[in-house]
Structure 1
């Protein structure tokens, strides 16, 4: 069962790995995700203060 889960996990990671061919690409993806979280947090804060 553990081998099946590990294989499934590896297969699920293939699109992510091929999308980011370099460390720079991974860094850009992480940065974009962080910026999206930050923007959402600001929007929620503004909505709550109304």
Structure 2
């Protein structure tokens, strides 16, 4: 089995850091952002979705 780098450019949004796994990846989001790919912004307990 060959493990490839699953962190493609732009895998994580809004300045998130991509963490490569085996056949998967996850994103470490900066403060104020959440979601699988850091696509959700939270400000004053209100969520905003980026596109």
TM-score by length of 1: 0.21
- Bigger helix fraction: 1
TM-score by length of 2: 0.21
- Structure with higher Rg: it is 1
Higher relative contact order (CA 8 A, sep 6+): 2
